[in-house]
Chains A and B, each alone.
Chain A
Amino acid sequence: MLTIALDAITTAALLFIISSGLLIVFGVMKIINFAHAAFVTVGAYAALVGARLALPWVLILPLAFATGAACGALTETTIVRRLYRRPLDAILATWGLGTVIGQVITLIFGREVQFVQAPITGTAYFLGIDYSAYRIAMIAAAIIVAVVFTGLLNGTRLGLSTRAVIMNEMLAQGLGVDSARVRLVTFVIGSGLAALSGALITPLSSVDPNMGLPWLISAFMLVMVSGGSLLTLAVSSLVLGGLQVVVSTFVNPILGGLTIAICAAVVLRIRPEGFARA
Chain B
Amino acid sequence: MPEARQFGQTGAASIDFSAGLRITVLALLVVGSIVLAPLLLDTYTTNILIRAFFVAIAAITVDIVWGYCGTLTFGQSAFFGIGVYALAIIFTEYGFGSWQALLGIATAIIAAATVAALTGWLSFYPGSTPLYASIVSLVVPIVLVQILYSGGTFTGSSSGLVGFESFDLEVENWFRLAGLSLAAVATIALIIMRSDTGRLLKALRDNDERCTYLGVDTSRYRIIVLVLTAIVASLAGFGYAAFGGVAAPENASFTFGTRLIIMVALGGRGTIVGAIVGALGIEVASAYLSRSLPYI
> Which residues of A are at the interface with B, using a C-beta cutoff of 8 A?
30-32, 87-88, 91-92, 95-96, 99, 217, 220-221, 224, 252, 254-255, 257-258, 261-262, 265-266, 268-269, 272
User: Which residues of B sit under 8 angstroms from A221, Cβ to Cβ?
Assistant: 135, 139
Whether, in the assembled complex, B130 has its beta carbon less than 8 Å from a beta carbon of chain A, the answer is yes
When A254-B146, A254-B150 are in contact, do A269 and B131 touch as well, CB less than 8 Å? no
The answer on a CB contact under 8 Å between B146 and A258 is yes
Contacts A252-B150, A254-B149 given; indicate if A88 touches B139 (C-beta within 8 A): no
Closest to A252 in B: B150
Q: A91-B72, A258-B146, A261-B139 are in contact. Are A31 and B131 (CB under 8 A)?
A: yes
Docked Cα-Cα span, A31 to B130, in Å, equals 11
Query: Given the interface contacts A88-B72, A221-B139, A262-B143, does A272 sit within 8 Å of B125 by beta carbon?
Result: yes
Given contacts A92-B265, A258-B143, A262-B143, contact A99 B134 (CB under 8 A): no
How many residues of chain B get a CB closer than 8 Å to chain A's CBs?
A: 25
Q: Which residues from chain A contact B117 at a C-beta distance below 8 Å?
A: none
Tell me what chain A mostly uses at the interface: helix, strand, loop, or mixed.
Answer: helix
Please tell me if B138 contacts chain A, counting CB pairs below 8 Å.
yes
Q: Which residue of B lies closest to A89 (CB)?
A: B72
A110 CB, min distance to chain B CBs, angstroms: 11
The reply to whether B122 and A92 form a contact with Cβ atoms under 8 Å apart is no
How far, in angstroms, from A140 to B107 measured CA to CA in the complex? Answer: 50
Q: Is the CB of A261 within 8 A of B121?
A: no
Question: How far, in whole Å, are A92 and B134 apart by their CA atoms in the complex?
Answer: 10
A261 vs B137: C-alpha distance when bound (angstroms): 11
Q: Are B142 and A217 in contact (CB under 8 A)?
A: yes
Residue of B nearest to A26 (CB): B131
Total number of residue pairs linking A and B with CB closer than 8 Å = 57
A254: B residues at CB distance < 8 A: 146-147, 149-150
Q: Which residues of A contact B134 (CB under 8 A)?
A: 88, 91
Cβ of B128 within 8 Å of any chain A Cβ, yes or no, is: yes
Enumerate chain A residues within 8 angstroms of B136, measured Cβ to Cβ. Answer: 265
| Interface pairs A-B: 5 shortest CB-CB | A254-B150, A272-B127, A261-B139, A88-B72, A265-B122
A-B contact list, 16 entries, CB within 8 Å: A32-B135, A87-B131, A88-B72, A88-B130, A88-B131, A92-B72, A92-B261, A220-B135, A252-B150, A254-B149, A258-B142, A261-B142, A265-B136, A268-B132, A272-B125, A272-B127
* Binary contact track B262-294/A, C-beta < 8 Å → 1, others 0: 100100000000000000000000000000000
Task: Please tell me if the beta carbons of B72 and A217 are within 8 angstroms of each other in the complex.
Answer: no
Nearest CB on B from A60, distance (A): 30
Asked if B258 is an interface residue, CB under 8 A from chain A, the answer is yes
Please tell me if the beta carbons of B132 and A87 are within 8 angstroms of each other in the complex. Answer: no
A268 to B136, CA, bound (A): 11
Measured CB to CB, the nearest residue on chain B to A103 is B296
Question: A252 contacts which chain B residues (CB < 8 A)?
Answer: 150
Q: Which residue of B lies closest to A32 (CB)?
A: B131
CB-defined contacts of B122 to chain A, threshold 8 Å: 265-266, 268-269
A residues near B258, Cβ cutoff 8 Å: 95, 99
C-alpha gap A34/B125 in the complex (Å): 23
What is the minimal beta-carbon distance from B158 to any residue of chain A, in angstroms? 12
A99 to B139, CA, bound (A): 17
Besides the contacts A258-B142, A261-B143, what 14 more A-B pairs have beta carbons closer than 8 Å?
A: A31-B131, A32-B135, A88-B130, A88-B131, A92-B72, A96-B262, A221-B135, A254-B150, A262-B143, A265-B139, A268-B128, A268-B132, A269-B122, A269-B125
